[in-house]
């Protein structure tokens, strides 16, 4: 497969000349560029969001630690993509653990299913951390957990609390 067709002249310039040359050549489109010395370029090229096609600005994009990386999505589209990825990962994890609450069998809504570590001393991370890992690494942590619905999870923790009170 060939490269995707550029949507505008600046993207064509980047494809033809390389990003470094394009930044100097189209200096007026570079955020944070140095107009007195085009060779010193502190910014990145701003284009349009690849999903919704709105013009990218400093205000509607997330800051990158590495300023040399080109932003290609607006905040709204990046957030939507992150939510979608997170939902897919949770569904994958739930299916790996059997797809339902291991206590009562609840299986109606994935958002109501959670992971409970059987032995808290073996807990390496909770779901908010695990969702960022590779699925192979996540499986190793999920093997230490049971899939339970929110109600059963609260009951488990309530029992643990009651048993620990003198």
Of the residues 52, 73, 94, the one at which a domain ends: 73
- Of the chain, the end-to-end C-alpha distance in Å amounts to 68
Is the pTM above the cut of 0.85?
A: no
Do both 37 and 106 map to the same domain? Answer: no
Same domain, 29 and 62: yes
Domain end among 35, 52, 73? 73
Tell me which of 19, 45, 73 is where a domain ends.
73
User: 41 and 96: one domain?
Assistant: no
At 124 the pLDDT is: 87
pLDDT surpassing 50 at residue 111: yes
pLDDT computed for residue 37 by the predictor? 46
Are 36 and 96 in the same domain?
no
Show the CA angle centred on residue 146, arms to residues 142 and 147, nearest 5°.
95
Q: Which two tokens stand for residue 148?
A: 């339970």
Segment (H or E) for 118: none
Domain count, the chain: 2
Q: Verify that 62 and 107 share a domain, yes or no.
A: no
Give yes or no: residues 110 and 54 share one domain: no
Its domain, for residue 103, covers: 78-164
Residue 79 has pLDDT above 60, yes or no: yes
66 and 141 housed in the same domain: no
Closest CA to 38 of 59, 14, 22: 22
Q: Are residues 63 and 96 in the same domain?
A: no
Segment 61-68 shows an average pLDDT of: 72
């Amino acid at each position: 497969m060939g490269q995707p067709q550029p949507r505008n002249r600046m993207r064509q310039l980047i494809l033809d000349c390389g990003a470094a040359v394009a930044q100097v050549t189209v200096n007026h489109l570079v955020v944070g560029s140095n107009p007195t010395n085009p060779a010193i370029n502190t910014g990145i090229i701003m284009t349009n969001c690849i999903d919704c096609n709105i013009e990218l600005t400093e205000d509607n994009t997330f800051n990158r630690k590495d300023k040399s990386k080109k932003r290609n999505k607006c905040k709204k589209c990046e957030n939507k993509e992150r939510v979608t990825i997170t939902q897919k990962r949770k569904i994958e994890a739930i299916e790996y653990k059997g797809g339902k609450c291991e206590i009562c069998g609840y299986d109606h809504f994935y958002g109501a299913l959670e992971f409970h570590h059987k032995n808290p001393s073996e807990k390496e991370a909770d779901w908010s951390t695990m969702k960022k890992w590779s699925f192979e690494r996540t499986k190793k942590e999920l093997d230490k957990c049971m899939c339970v619905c929110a109600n059963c999870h609260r009951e488990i923790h309530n029992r643990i609390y009651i048993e620990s009170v003198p």
